[in-house]
Structures are given as C-alpha cells and as structure tokens.
Amino acid sequence: MKVLITGTAGFIGWHLTNELLAAGFEVVGLDVINDYYDINIKYARLAEHGINHGALLYQELQRSNKLSSYSFVKADLADYDFIVEFMIQQKFDFVVNLAAQAGVRYSIDNPRAYTHSNIDGFLSILEGAKHSQVKHLIYASTSSVYGLNTQMPLLENMPTEHPMALYAATKKANEMMAHSYSHLFDLPTTGLRFFTVYGPWGRPDMALFLFADAIQANKPIKVFNHGNMVRDFTYVGDIVKSIRLLLEKPPVRNAKWNANEPDIATSSAPYRVLNIGNSYPVMLNEYIGALEQAIGKKAIREMMGMQPGDVPATHANTQALEAITGFRPSTTIQEGIKLFVDWYKAYFNK
C-alpha cells in the first residue's frame, strides 16, 4: 500500500512516517519547508529519514538513503497543477494531509498564509485525490473549530459555526470542502480534530517547547489566563497510532442519515469527522508542573490574561474513534512530557 503524507518534515508528519513505515507501508513525503519556524529542525527530521536537504530540488522526488520504502519531494500544496499531476502519476492508495499553516495567534497577523496553505493547498489535494481515485483521504482538522462552544466534553456533532480565529475557520472550511467532494465524487474522507498535540520533535512555537527553553535559561514563562486554562493534551504517539488504525477503515455512507435531523459528524456521503484527544483535560498549571518535574527545575511564572483567539477549555469525547479503531489515546502528561524532555535534552545537548 502506498501512502502520501503531506507535511512530512513537520511534527506530526514525521512521527506518522515512522508509524506507517514500521507498519509496512510505502511512504512518499511532501513538504514545502517554509520558515514559519526554524527550518533546521525540519531538515533534522528529514535527515532522520535519510533525506539529504542539501540535495533537495524543488519538485524532484528524492529516494531516502536509509529507508528503501521512503521518498520525499519538496513542493507547495498550492501549486495546483503540479500536485494534481503528481498524485495522478504516483497512484497513491491513501493520502494523509497534515501540511497546513498552523498556529492560532499567527493567523491574526498573517491571514493570507492560511488561505494559501489551508484553502488553496487543500483544494489541490482534493482534486488530486479525486482524479487518482484515492481509497481514503485523511486530513488534519483541529479542536479549534469548536470555537465558542463551552459544553464539555466536545462531541463531533456539536455546532462548529463560531470559530474564534481564522486558523480555525480555514479548518472548518476544509471539513466542508471535503464533504462536497465526498458527496459529488464518492471520495471517502475523514477529518481529524486534533486536541493540543505535544511530544518529541515538536514545533518550537508550541507552549511546551517555549516553556522548556525558558526554564533552562532561567527566564520567566508567560502563563496565560493565570494558568487556569484547561486543555486535552494529547501525546503525538497516540495521534499517529489512531491515524494508522483509521487508514484502512474509510468511512461509508450513513444509511440512517436524516437530512431533517442531520448528524454533523457523518453524512449520506462517505464522510466523517472524528476527535482525537486524550479525553482527560488538564489545567495549564498542572501541565507546567509536570514539565518542572521532568526537567528537575522550577519555572519562573509570569501570570497573564487570556490571549485573543484562545479558548478557555477543551475536552474531547473520543467514543466514535474508539468504536471504529478499538483504541483510546491514554498517554498521561507525566509520561509524554518526560519523553519530550528526554528528546529535548539530547537534541540540544542540555
């Protein structure tokens, strides 16, 4: 089975590549390698898979020198003609679209980066999947689509019409775009609403990374909402295991779907959206405490108010995921943060 993973030089994409290669899939990775954060960590991830970044040429497939079943191409998803033709030529069985412009606060100041990557780029993927008759398209959505919802736990069939930032709005648009292709072209699509993913090889702009840097440098950390925010922190290993288990289980038409009482999470088309979270919300102050314990050093906490675009709480209901896969994400923050800190100290020689 041949899989295209977009965003494979990114955090989740790198881990998913490992997961699928270990499961025996042939993997082709694609990434534009933009400079939203330090590209050196992206090149380091690629190097772990045997891709020499010095030899990377735009739109030229490069075979890994370590992994016979892995290859990589540097390309922009918004390059419509190239992406569609590439997908037709490669004849992928499955596609996992993880490439996107991430970050809630960055979307406030740089909105066009989000329409370019998350809207134009996703359209290229949908068209490529349609023309190449992909068996299952999985794509990253986000818990941020729940927006102003305050009822917990968050369930896939709750309204998502009130996003709080453009990032979330583009992900909601992805879900709607996917549904239209599932309906018109019988393309099986699954949108995954990730809940606050963390772990080794994470993005340097993520809170855990920023906190670790500050603690090691004896600098204060900014603790928003005075540490009273609640998040369903989800370890990256649980995310990629969920994707592997879902890959060969594409959605089918819901025969009981009723247009008069529509189930938002499914459809009369082969379409679904699923939460992937730990189902165990944790206070930000507790999360920081687990990091202090793993590092062996106290943080200097600078208490702040809420940031624009942030939600006060997230808590995933994952019963639908469990029913399909038999798997429930359950890595504790103590376990996951220790794994992150072990990697962080080794990577930065600290």
Got the DSSP string for 26-50?
EEEEEE---SSS-HHHHHHHHHHTT
Q: What's the token pair of residue 223?
A: 């603790």
Our CA angle for 297, 300, 302, nearest 5°, is: 150
H-helix segments, the chain: 11-22, 39-48, 80-90, 106-109, 111-114, 121-132, 166-185, 207-216, 236-247, 284-295, 319-325, 333-348
Whether 143 contacts 117, CB under 8 Å: no
Whole-angstrom distance, CA of residue 35 vs CA of residue 40: 9
Whole-angstrom distance, CA of residue 266 vs CA of residue 261: 12
Query: DSSP label at 58?
Result: B
Active site residue 139: no
Whole-angstrom distance, CA of residue 285 vs CA of residue 304: 12
For residue 64, give the 3-state DSSP assignment: coil
Whole-angstrom distance, CA of residue 217 vs CA of residue 16: 31
| Amino acid at residue number 23 | A
Our CA angle for 184, 189, 195, nearest 5°, is: 140
Q: Which of 122, 142, 262, 137 is nearest to 194 (CA)?
A: 142
Whole-angstrom distance, CA of residue 71 vs CA of residue 53: 12
Given 167, 181, 198, 287, which residue is catalytic? 167
Whole-angstrom distance, CA of residue 5 vs CA of residue 164: 28
Active-site amino acid positions: 167
